[in-house]
Amino acid sequence: MNVNDVTKNEGNSGYTDFNFTITLSDFPIDAVTLRYWVQSESAVAGSDFVPVPGTVNVTFNPGVKAKTFTVKVKGDRVRELNERFFFNLAGVSSNAYFGKYQGKGTILNDD
Ligand SMILES: [Ca+2]
Ligand SMILES: [Ca+2]
Ligand SMILES: [Ca+2]
């Protein structure tokens, strides 16, 4: 199981979708469960992206290999440094291999 990194421009208004895809190494025979949570770093929930409260339960049913989740980044016209947040995986069921468990979201300031 892996999750990708996302690097995109911030944008100046509205929202930009940062899409994180969790991919299993193979099609599961039994359901695979895990949780994800979105962690602020230099990018702060609320001001830089739409908060994802708590931890989110995810289930891969048999035959499903990939799922995509979106973090919505807020555009602005403020001059600031590039900012980062994390898309973390945790609590993976024992029938799945745990590979790259952290996706980095890098917001490129464009102001
Ligand atoms: Ca901007
Ligand atoms: Ca910003
Ligand atoms: Ca900015």
Instruction: Give me the CATH number covering residue 40.
Output: 2.60.40.2030
Identify whether 100 is part of a domain: no
Identify whether 105 is part of a domain: no
Identify whether 80 is part of a domain: yes
pTM of the predicted model as reported, rounded to 2 decimal places: 0.95
Give residue 80's domain range: 2-93
> Measured in angstroms, how far is the CA atom of residue 74 from the centroid of ligand 2?
7
Q: Which residues have beta carbons under 5 A from ligand 3 (an ion)?
A: 10, 76, 78, 80, 109, 111
What's the domain count of the chain? Answer: 1
Considering every ligand atom, which ligand is closest to the CA of 13? 1
> Measured in angstroms, how far is the CA atom of residue 87 from the centroid of ligand 3?
21
Identify whether 76 is part of a domain: yes
Identify whether 108 is part of a domain: no
Identify whether 102 is part of a domain: no
pLDDT by 10s per residue, the chain, length 111:
999 999 999 999 999 999 999 999 999 999 999 999 999 999 999 999 999 999 999 999 999 999 999 999 999 999 999 999 999 999 999 999 889 999 999 999 999
Considering every ligand atom, which ligand is closest to the CA of 46? 2
> Measured in angstroms, how far is the CA atom of residue 12 from the centroid of ligand 1?
4
Concatenate the DSSP letters of all residues of 20-87 into one string: EEEE-SS--SS-EEEEEEEEESSS-BTTTB----S-EEEEE-TT--EEEEEEEEEP-------EEEEE
